[in-house]
Structure 1
Amino acid sequence: MRPNEPRPAEAPKEPIRLEQPIDGRMLIDGELVESAGGGWLESSNPATEGYIGRVPDGNAADIDRAVAAAEKAQLAWAALSVEQRAACLNGFGDAILARSDELLAAEVSDSGNPAAFMLGDIRASVARLRYLAGLGNELQGATIPVDPGKLHLTLREPYGVVGRITAFNHPIAMAVHGLAGPLITGNTVVLKPSEQCPLSSAILGEIARDALPPGVLNIVSGGRAAGDALVRHPRVKRLSFVGSVGTGLAIQRAAAESAVKHISLELGGKNPFIVFPDAPIDKVAAAAVTGMNFSWQGQSCSSTSRLFLHEDIHDAVLARIVEIVEAIKVGDPCDWDTRMGAIVSKAQLERVEGFIRSAQDEGARLVAGGERPRGPGFDKGYWMRPTVFANVTQDMRIAREEIFGPVLSVLRWSDFDQVIEMANSVEYGLSGAVWTGDLSNALRTVKALKSGYLWVNDVASHPRAVPFGGFKNSGIGRERGLSELASFTEEKSVGIVI
């Protein structure tokens, strides 16, 4: 859904509400358990600051139990045919959809993201689970003709136990669709959800307990102790992480201390959106707002948060963007008509506010937002209006550092080489967009940009079959399609004398 689209026709009219606080458990070896240390993580609603539930605060002992369970289950799971594993995953998807109302209430209350968009997240995650499950038989080895007296072939085999750590902005989506690749290829998984939005993982554990064989999926909630133990565990040879650059660098260092591991990282972004003078003003303005992901309060690594407008259309596009942004409905995430909710935590809000102050101090011009919404419903919680800055230059913090909040930076350009230099000057290289009716301009721009995923005359679309991942400090490895499946296998070469 785009920021101003109506809610789905099948959505209920009443706001989605969490009926009572969630008292969650972890899933280890098919059992719902508390932490070995007895600790708990409590969650509060970022829109109200009210208590909404708790999950166990897992530690190294819990990770060790989960890895042992995953190891025990892995050989039998890998011995199943691809069709049998796919049937299990499709049944898992059916069970997720059957409890989508509960998951949605937990997601909205825990993350602050609007219900209309989180409903789409849940459905899309199951669709991707099913897609990758169906793609399993397409992952094949090869025969290599070396000499007539020998046959050389390659086999694809699972790593064994895969560790996956997810981020807070799409909690259930990242958990669910991130399981399909490792599971369909014969691995078992230990999942550590974000400690900032862990509640839906407790429901997911209940679903998996009944839908998957014991030990195939283990879910250990917790903070840094659990995450560090999973990363360092010597019998976890494949790791997948979604989060910040700093944490990604720390994971690489920590993982290498216990074993040689295959690690994929989907990290931050400071993504450029380059607009040429022939671009249609209204379409570009709408795309700029959509690409900024205000629907998730700007909390998306692929947000095109640096908008480079050619000087010939700069003022017209900027004026239209301000009109669209000021019409976005900010409010209760449980309301189906809300188009932007609350920022995930007090700490994240303070980070966003710090960037806004920095931008003003450095001379950027605030043209929309920049403050907390006013009126009923905004006296508590972590709120910020969708914010747009003009007169931004590349030396400013808001043009160079990832904010992970609802702040769009607009820069002016006239020279092609200069705009490419500015676009590539940051440490990130996750995604980007180009808007032009000139195919030559489009092709030379996408070839020049150092980003892993680029849109031309589009933004924010992520087809399931197209590899997604970053250059530079935005990550390593690719998700989606056959690239994702292959990454969860090791290639074995076999030579046979015939």
Structure 2
Amino acid sequence: MNQRVDALLKLCSRIEERAEEFALIDSYDAGNALTGMRKDVTMSIENIKYFCGLVREVKGETFSMEPKHLNFTRYQPYGVVLKINPFNHPFRFCVEKIAAPLLMGNSLVIKNSEQAPISPLKWCELLKDIFPDGLINVVTGGPEGGSFLVKHPLIKRIGVISSVNTGIAVNIDAAPYLKNVSLELGGKNPLMVFDDADPEFAADLAIKGMNLSRQGQSCSSTSRVLVHKSLKENFVKHLVEKAKKIPVGLPWIETNEIGPIVSKRQFDKVMEYIETGKKEGAKLVLGGDNPQDPELKNGFFINPTIFTDVKPDMTIAKEEIFGPVISVLTWESYEELIEIANSTLYGLTAMIATNSLSNAMKTAEDIQAGYVWVNTFGRYSGAPYGGWKLSGLGVEECFDEMKSYAKLKNINMKW
């Protein structure tokens, strides 16, 4: 254990020395804003250090039922762990997610997205002379490669961050072998704005909750805003004003906050959702188009997009778009709010804007989601992150994640 802790901390030092390089690579390769990718590198280091400090708390239990009797438990590694990662956090999801399985005694095969593979491959240079060859392996490729690895008999534990469809496909491939699979999947997450909330503050939360430094390509983005009917006009006014001011452009220029969509495939998908929203009767009040700057005309840029008059049964209210598209819905009674909020197949995150402790506590209890914010946003190491319903299985970034990368053995003995 101590050797692995020391190795990971040494790796953190090497990452810190080249932090700007990795942030720039992700900005160029994935199209994400440079400021956000700097945070990704920092968070990767913080999460590795968190798990390095936590691993010594993984302890078994002991008890005795009679003289000359002892029952105790031990955690033992699975062996080879497979990690499957998406394109929206190429460096962070590759790097920070090695800590828990590695510290629990496993080796790793990391399968990153073929849409943004460069920073994980470049990061492998830092492993030399720290870890034994073959302990950590990084591969890229499409679904066929992922399916091959999931079915491989030497892989016993799989951790996935992906869309719902990919997560289901992994679970199907792993099911005949009864492999232990954890899934952090997509979301269609609600921001619930009560009538006692400040509409401008709620609009700030809506912008920040969308993770626009990644073009809204985030499973935790609060892409559904459920605002009380009495606040709708004032809220939408502030939301549009703030969204208009967000600079769209080349992501490695620090003043820009929104870069291009990661690929043409994803760009076409987002634009198709925007067209569907129009056809189904939602009111487009901002965006839905591309920037007019000639420098950006050949890129996959989409301006921040806001729909109002959205109904719960519309496609843009039900399906994860994974782009800079916000849908505004209204409600009048608390029962209606909860019914709409819980009406999707997802249950990853939820956000509440209210000045009432009673509203906050009751809604946090009634919402079907694994991670809930009240008047804030963001995450920190140690707080369990995971989804309900089709948004996933298991939790990450916490003690329970670390223990999930080992098998529990019970030993019952007498002498």
TM-score range, shorter chain: over 0.9
Aligned residue in 2 for 1:13 = none
Q: How does 1:130-149 map to 2 (within 5 A)?
A: 130-149=49-68
Query: Aligned partners of 1:281 and 1:100: how far apart in 2?
Result: 38
Aligned residues of 2:78 and 2:405 also touching (Cα < 8 A): yes
- The alignment partner of 2:129 has SS state of helix
Aligned residues of 1:265 and 1:477 also touching (Cα < 8 A): yes
Query: Aligned partners of 1:376 and 1:211: how far apart in 2?
Result: 47
State which of 90, 102, 105 in structure 2 corresponds to 1:186. Answer: 105
Which deviations, in whole Å up to 9, do the C-alpha atoms of 1:88-143 show, x marking residues without a partner? 00111111222223322221111000111111111111111111111110111112
- Letter of the aligned partner of 2:365 in structure 1? K
State which of 478, 486, 498 in structure 1 corresponds to 2:395. Answer: 478
State which of 380, 383, 387 in structure 2 corresponds to 1:466. Answer: 383
Q: How does 1:26-175 map to 2 (within 5 A)?
A: 82-175=1-94
- The alignment partner of 2:155 has SS state of coil
Query: Aligned partners of 1:417 and 1:484: how far apart in 2?
Result: 34
Query: Aligned partners of 2:362 and 2:138: how far apart in 1?
Result: 45
Query: Aligned partners of 1:437 and 1:375: how far apart in 2?
Result: 41
Query: Aligned partners of 2:242 and 2:62: how far apart in 1?
Result: 56
- Letter of the aligned partner of 2:21 in structure 1? E
Aligned residue in 2 for 1:249 = 168
Query: Aligned partners of 1:326 and 1:161: how far apart in 2?
Result: 48
Distance 1:379 1:162, change over 3 A: same
Aligned residues of 1:386 and 1:406 also touching (Cα < 8 A): yes
Aligned residue in 2 for 1:366 = 284
Report the RMSD for the aligned CA atoms in angstroms: 1.1
Query: Aligned partners of 2:329 and 2:64: how far apart in 1?
Result: 55
Aligned residue in 2 for 1:292 = 210
- Letter of the aligned partner of 2:385 in structure 1? F
- The alignment partner of 1:313 has SS state of helix
Aligned residues of 2:291 and 2:297 also touching (Cα < 8 A): no
Which deviations, in whole Å up to 9, do the C-alpha atoms of 1:417-449 show, x marking residues without a partner? 111111111110001011112111111111111
Query: Aligned partners of 2:310 and 2:141: how far apart in 1?
Result: 39
Runs of 4+ that moved beyond 4 A: none
Query: Aligned partners of 2:88 and 2:74: how far apart in 1?
Result: 37
Segments of 5+ residues of structure 2 without an aligned counterpart are none
Work out whether 1:201 is the aligned partner of 2:120: yes
Aligned residue in 1 for 2:368 = 450
Aligned residues of 1:352 and 1:405 also touching (Cα < 8 A): yes
Which deviations, in whole Å up to 9, do the C-alpha atoms of 1:327-372 show, x marking residues without a partner? 0000011101111111001111111111111111111111111100
* Aligned positions, number: 415
Aligned residue in 2 for 1:74 = none
Query: Aligned partners of 1:93 and 1:312: how far apart in 2?
Result: 50
Query: Aligned partners of 2:406 and 2:391: how far apart in 1?
Result: 23
Aligned residue in 2 for 1:496 = 413
Work out whether 1:225 is the aligned partner of 2:167: no
Segments of 5+ residues of structure 1 without an aligned counterpart are 1-81
Which deviations, in whole Å up to 9, do the C-alpha atoms of 1:174-199 show, x marking residues without a partner? 00111001011111101111110001
- Letter of the aligned partner of 2:364 in structure 1? V
- Identity, % of aligned positions: 41
Question: Offset at 1:285?
Answer: 0.9
Question: Offset at 1:211?
Answer: 2.5
Aligned residues of 1:238 and 1:263 also touching (Cα < 8 A): yes
Aligned residues of 1:95 and 1:211 also touching (Cα < 8 A): no
Aligned residue in 1 for 2:158 = 239
Query: Aligned partners of 2:212 and 2:188: how far apart in 1?
Result: 15
Aligned residues of 1:245 and 1:473 also touching (Cα < 8 A): yes
Query: Aligned partners of 1:363 and 1:429: how far apart in 2?
Result: 26
Distance 1:210 1:98, change over 3 A: farther
Question: Offset at 1:457?
Answer: 1.3
Work out whether 1:339 is the aligned partner of 2:260: no
Question: Offset at 1:148?
Answer: 4.5
Deviates more, 1:136-145 or 1:300-309: 136-145
- Letter of the aligned partner of 1:288 in structure 2? A
Aligned residues of 1:92 and 1:212 also touching (Cα < 8 A): no
Query: Aligned partners of 2:124 and 2:55: how far apart in 1?
Result: 24
Query: Aligned partners of 1:373 and 1:288: how far apart in 2?
Result: 22
Q: Give the structure-1-normalised TM-score.
A: 0.82
- Letter of the aligned partner of 1:192 in structure 2? K
Q: How does 1:326-475 map to 2 (within 5 A)?
A: 326-459=244-377, 461-475=378-392
Aligned residues of 2:32 and 2:214 also touching (Cα < 8 A): yes
Q: Give the structure-2-normalised TM-score.
A: 0.98
